[in-house]
């Protein structure tokens, strides 16, 4: 039996920084438990071909340490998976974290022992761990969603999910490959696989808008510039809604005529990056304004893709731009000009079943050597539910969340004392540049733990009323946004059968959220139940 002050689940961006704060600043006996064989979290598991970050590198990292920030030099505008993993290992080494990391242990249950005020955890290696404070750093996108397609268990070839990609290099050369899904990972995978495979058949249900990344090597001048401006960048990314270096202007689409407007769009398209959505202040708020951006992107795709049939399928959008997760790409649309790439519209030609050697659709029978699932995740709630959490009075999280996830600030859950969540449902999480949100959460949790320690308090949990009011606030903001105009979105759990259909992340932006959290801290956590 191992007794600890704090157990952190997950050794990614969140887990590493939280370990540093708990162990080195609060002097708490802390352990990180990680399912994988190494650190990295998202960047350990998502090793698929073409995997890259979609936030600019000089903003995609820790800012808590000026020394760490300035001693690591990014080489590309958008770093690839292996580079980000190297960065996290560099941070781990600088902070000496590895001795408190337990790998190859998956948490299969976590139960709150009311009489002892302890959490009891079990791993798949039959380890029993006990702690006073349990912190989830499992992330928002860590439970891979492999669709329940009839016949998959009978398929004799190999299949892979982008979120659980094998360490060993997968050979696609001169093979016929199926790719199911065209979301963020699918958009990155397709251009790489198409150059290797004899034939690539891409199965698409709903197309998404994608902006060119315009990835490039960083010049020495740019590197020196962002290193010199560390303090400015740190302040800026805390002030913008998404935690990026760009803000949303006050200018409206309708302040300009079509020619002027298209020039602004064209300049942003040529530059690339997620900042395209910030060309005008009302693109993400007003449906009429949004249509000008949507139509511009549609025309660009129609111009790039030579095959009119493919182009039509790729532009058959059923949602406004940015109402689903916006994506960046490198030669994604150009990929469909290759002779070895086929595109299947699943709306008109759905998959019936998977056979022993391929896929049968309503109209076709395909043979494939391998199948790639780029089908996303059971996002936001799935990672927490996979822990099989049981709170006080034997309340199971899966039952407590059966109709909708309930939390306060996405940080704590009623009936689950001393359980803290980094990037939980109800926080800005996936709507932001993730490391920026992570730092804010961890610093809030650390301050809260320090408050409990200093005031000799034993437990803290969110009240039912605070969680209820917070859910109402999220719904109010979501209903007023364009997010709810998307017919299908994993932001609302539409990709998982049986999952409650509610908007899950907090859509009010990081600065607004940060101010709320700061007020709660300043008021000594009066919205919580403290004993």
Question: In this predicted structure, what is the pLDDT of residue 165?
Answer: 98
Structure letter (DSSP) for residue 141: S
pLDDT digits (tens, 9 = 90+) for 107-117: 999 999 999 99
Residues 210-224 pLDDT 10s: 999 999 999 999 999
Question: What integer is the mean pLDDT of 223-228?
Answer: 97
Computed from CA positions of residues 379, 406, 403, 347, in that sequence, does the dihedral angle turn out positive or negative? Answer: negative
Half-sphere exposure of 162 (CA within 13 A, CB side): 26
Q: How far apart are CA 408 and CA 415, in angstroms?
A: 12
Tell me what pLDDT residue 246 has: 95
Please write the tens of the pLDDT for every residue from 253-305. 999 999 999 999 999 999 999 999 999 999 999 999 999 999 999 999 999 99
Q: What angle do CA 48, 50, 56 make, to 5 degrees?
A: 115
- Integer Cα distance of 159 and 63 in angstroms: 38
Where in 222-357 does DSSP place strands (E)? 327-329, 341-345, 351-355
State residue 65's pLDDT score.
98
- How is residue 292 written in tokens? 């000008």
pLDDT in tens, 346-384: 999 999 999 999 999 999 999 999 999 999 999 999 999
pLDDT in tens, 16-70: 999 999 999 999 999 999 999 999 999 999 999 999 999 999 999 999 999 999 9
Q: In what order do the strands lie in the sheet with 365-367?
A: 351-355, 358-361, 365-367
Question: What secondary structure does DSSP assign to 176-224, as a single string?
Answer: EEEEE--SHHHHHHHHHHHTT-SEEEEEESS---EEE----BPPHHHHH
- 3-state SS string for 5-54: EEEEECCCHHHHHHHHHHHHHCCCCEEEECCCCCCCCHHHHCCCCCCECC
Report the distance separating Cα 470 and Cα 506, nearest Å: 9
Looking at residue 261, its pLDDT comes to 98
Q: How do 176-180 and 370-373 pair as beta strands?
A: parallel
Rounded mean pLDDT, 213-237: 97
pLDDT, tens digit (0-9, with 9 covering 90-100), for 184-208? 999 999 999 999 999 999 999 999 9
Residue 235 pLDDT > 80: yes
- Residue among 495, 380, 492 at smallest CA distance from 429: 380
Task: State residue 134's pLDDT score.
Answer: 98
CB 88 within 8 A of CB 40: yes
> CA dist 477 to 257, 423, 424, 505, 516, Å?
30, 18, 18, 11, 15
Q: In terms of DSSP H, where are the helices of 1-121?
A: 13-19, 42-45, 66-71, 81-95
398: Cβ contacts below 8 Å, ≥ 6 apart: 385, 388
Annotated domain spans of the chain: 2-143+378-459, 144-209+322-376
Nearest CA-CA partner of 300 in 311, 309, 289? 311
Task: Look at residue 2 and tell me whether its pLDDT is greater than 90.
Answer: no
pLDDT single digits (tens) 400-422: 999 999 999 999 999 999 999 99
Tokens 């199926």 -> residue: 178
Convert the pLDDT of each residue in 115-151 to its tens digit.
999 999 999 999 999 999 999 999 999 999 999 999 9
The DSSP bridge pattern shows strands 327-329 and 210-212 to be: parallel
CATH superfamily of 2-143+378-459: FAD/NAD(P)-binding domain (3.50.50.60)
Residue with token string 């998502």: 46
Is the pLDDT confidence value at 1 over 90? no
Helix (H) or strand (E) holding 483: none
Question: For 144-209+322-376, CATH number?
Answer: 3.50.50.60
By residue count, the chain amounts to 531
CB atoms within 10 A of CB 152: 15
């Amino acid at each position: 039996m191992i007794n600890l002050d704090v157990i952190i689940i997950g050794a990614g961006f969140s887990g590493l920084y939280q370990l540093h704060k708990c162990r080195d600043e609060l002097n708490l006996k802390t352990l990180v438990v990680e399912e994988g064989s190494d650190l990295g979290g998202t960047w350990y598991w998502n090793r698929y071909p073409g995997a890259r970050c979609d936030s600019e590198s000089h903003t995609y990292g820790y800012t808590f340490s000026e020394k760490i920030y300035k001693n690591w030099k990014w080489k590309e505008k958008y770093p690839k998976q292996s580079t980000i993993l190297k960065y996290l290992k560099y941070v781990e080494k600088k902070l000496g974290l590895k001795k408190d990391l337990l790998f190859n242990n998956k948490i299969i249950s976590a139960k709150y022992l009311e009489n002892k005020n302890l959490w009891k955890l079990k791993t798949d290696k039959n380890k029993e761990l006990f702690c006073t404070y349990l912190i989830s750093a499992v992330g928002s996108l860590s439970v891979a969603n492999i669709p329940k397609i009839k016949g998959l268990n009978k398929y004799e070839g190999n299949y892979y999910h982008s979120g659980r990609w094998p360490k060993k290099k997968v050979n696609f050369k001169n093979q016929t490959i199926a790719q199911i899904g065209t979301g963020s990972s699918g958009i990155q995978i397709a251009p790489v696989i198409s150059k290797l495979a004899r034939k690539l058949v891409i199965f698409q249900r709903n197309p998404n808008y994608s902006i060119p990344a315009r990835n490039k090597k960083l010049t020495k001048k740019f590197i020196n510039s962002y290193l010199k401006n560390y303090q400015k960048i740190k302040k800026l990314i805390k002030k913008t809604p998404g935690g990026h270096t760009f803000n949303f202007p006050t200018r409206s689409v309708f302040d300009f005529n079509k020619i002027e407007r298209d020039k602004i769009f064209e300049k942003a398209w040529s530059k690339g990056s997620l900042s395209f959505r910030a060309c005008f202040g009302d693109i993400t708020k007003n449906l009429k304004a949004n249509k000008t951006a949507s139509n511009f992107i549609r025309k660009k795709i129609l111009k790039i893709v030579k095959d009119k049939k493919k182009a039509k399928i790729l532009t058959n959008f059923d949602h406004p731009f940015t109402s689903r997760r916006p994506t960046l790409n490198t030669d994604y649309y150009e990929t469909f000009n290759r002779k070895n790439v086929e595109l299947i519209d699943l709306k008109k030609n759905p998959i019936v079943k998977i056979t022993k050697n391929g896929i049968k659709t309503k109209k076709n029978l395909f043979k494939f050597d391998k199948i790639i699932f780029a089908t996303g995740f059971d996002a936001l709630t799935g990672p927490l539910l996979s822990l099989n959490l049981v709170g006080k009075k034997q309340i199971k999280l899966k039952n407590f969340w059966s109709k909708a996830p309930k939390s306060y600030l996405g940080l704590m859950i009623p009936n689950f004392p001393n359980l803290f969540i980094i990037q939980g449902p109800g926080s800005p999480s996936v709507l932001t540049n993730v490391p920026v949100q992570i730092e804010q959460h961890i610093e809030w949790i650390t301050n809260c733990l320090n408050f409990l320690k200093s005031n000799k308090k034993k437990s803290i949990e969110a009240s039912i009323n605070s969680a209820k009011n917070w859910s109402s606030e999220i719904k109010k903001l979501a209903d007023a946004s364009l997010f709810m105009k998307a017919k299908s979105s994993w932001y609302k759990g539409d990709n998982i059968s049986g999952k409650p259909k509610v908007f899950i992340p907090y859509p009010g932006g990081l600065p607004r959220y940060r101010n709320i959290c700061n007020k709660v801290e300043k008021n000594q956590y009066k919205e919580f139940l403290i004993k």
